[in-house]
């Protein structure tokens, strides 16, 4: 089994393109940005590997450069429960690092993923010195709180289409996941893992959402056409579908 130590052994310095994809670096002063960039490490994580494990002390702040991760936990009876997917551009775990706690969730790679990280102490040094970094982290925490409140509300509903819509709306969050844009690279099986439904039921839900004009099923992913409408659909207040002119045939 791959361990955190073995991941550290395979870590490397980020490329220029990878550095450019890290959203919070631009909020730092030039000298601080250079110093932190020198401490950033990048590693390739294989499918099924746990990047963060329940009970393990948090020692790095992680961000996803490319790939797809899953945040999950187990219920009292051992049943796995998925909190959310983690798409490219996401940085996560700041709440755990702030309190210097152990992880209360698992972060698992659903496909081969490129992950970046900075040490715990570097994270705290930035909090102490950088106003821009503090604002970024504060926005992250605020947005994530809203996301989890919405997730709790939807998880109480036995509506598969709404569960798929909720997960898609969360994965297209432009604050938490700026690397996604309008097209999310995800397979229906990967989405099924996140939602907790069969691939066939996810396919049916996607076609329902596509027929309503909220999304378009593209080759290799899902394109959002109406994010506000998708969020309203999640809350159960389904808006009237857009005009037929925006409807697209399946691809």
Least confident of 51-60, 123-132, 227-236, 238-247: 238-247
Q: At which of 114, 133, 151 does a domain end?
A: 151
Domain that includes residue 178, residue range: 159-246
CATH code assigned at 218: 1.10.10.10
Quick one: pLDDT at residue 237?
44
Q: At which of 132, 151, 170 does a domain end?
A: 151
Q: At which of 106, 122, 151 does a domain end?
A: 151
CATH code assigned at 72: 2.60.120.10
Residues 6 or more apart whose CB falls under 8 angstroms from that of 114 comprise 18, 42, 43, 44, 45, 64, 65, 66, 67
Quick one: pLDDT at residue 151?
66
- Residues 41, 103 within the same domain: yes
- For residue 13, being part of any structural domain is answered with yes
- Residues 71, 32 within the same domain: yes
**DSSP string over 151-214:** HHHHHTS--HHHHHHHHHHHHT-TTT-TTTTTEE---HHHHHHHHTS-HHHHHHHHHHHHHTTS
**In this prediction, what percent of the chain has a pLDDT beyond 90?**
63
Asked whether the predicted pLDDT for residue 233 surpasses 50, the reply is yes
Side-chain half-sphere CA neighbours of 132 within 13 A: 10
> Please, what is the average pLDDT of the chain?
86
- Residues 56, 91 within the same domain: yes
Burial code (b: 16+ CB inside 10 Å, e: under 16) for 160-189 equals bbbbbbbbbbbbbbeebbbbbeeebbbbbe
- For residue 55, being part of any structural domain is answered with yes
Q: What is the pTM of this model?
A: 0.83
On whether the CB atoms of residues 108 and 62 are closer than 8 A, the answer is no
- Residues 106, 143 within the same domain: yes
- For residue 29, being part of any structural domain is answered with yes
- Residues 48, 171 within the same domain: no
Taking only the tens place, the pLDDT of each residue in 72-131 is 887 666 666 788 889 999 999 999 999 999 999 999 999 999 999 999 999 999 999 999
Which residue's structure tokens are 């593209």? 218
Quick one: pLDDT at residue 157?
59
Asked whether the predicted pLDDT for residue 170 surpasses 80, the reply is yes
Residue 112 φ/ψ, nearest 5 degrees: -60, 125
Least confident of 59-73, 135-149, 229-243: 229-243
**DSSP string over 54-82:** TTPBP-EEEEEEES-EEEEEE-TTS-EEE
């Amino acid at each position: 089994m791959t361990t955190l130590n073995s991941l550290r052994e395979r870590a490397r310095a980020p490329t220029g393109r990878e550095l450019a994809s890290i959203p919070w670096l631009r909020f730092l002063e030039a000298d601080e940005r250079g110093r932190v960039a020198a401490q950033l490490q990048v590693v390739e994580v294989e499918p099924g590997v746990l990047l963060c494990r329940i009970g393990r002390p948090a020692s790095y702040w992680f961000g996803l450069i490319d790939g797809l991760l899953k945040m999950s936990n187990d219920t009292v009876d051992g049943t796995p429960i998925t909190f959310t997917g983690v798409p490219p551009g996401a940085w996560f775990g700041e709440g755990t690092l702030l309190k210097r706690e152990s992880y209360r969730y698992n972060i698992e790679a659903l496909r081969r993923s490129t992950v970046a990280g900075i040490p715990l102490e570097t994270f705290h040094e930035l909090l102490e010195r950088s106003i821009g970094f503090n604002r970024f982290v504060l926005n992250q925490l605020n947005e994530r709180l809203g996301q989890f409140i919405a997730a709790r509300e939807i998880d109480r509903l036995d509506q598969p289409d709404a569960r798929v819509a909720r997960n898609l709306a969360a994965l297209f969050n432009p604050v938490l996941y700026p690397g996604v844009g309008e097209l999310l690279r995800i397979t229906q099986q990967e989405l099924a893992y996140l939602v907790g439904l069969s691939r066939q039921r996810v396919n049916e839900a996607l076609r329902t959402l596509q027929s309503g004009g909220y999304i378009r099923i593209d080759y290799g992913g899902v394109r959002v056409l109406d994010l506000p409408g998708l969020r309203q659909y999640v809350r159960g207040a389904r808006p009237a579908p857009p005009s037929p002119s925006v409807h697209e045939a399946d691809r």
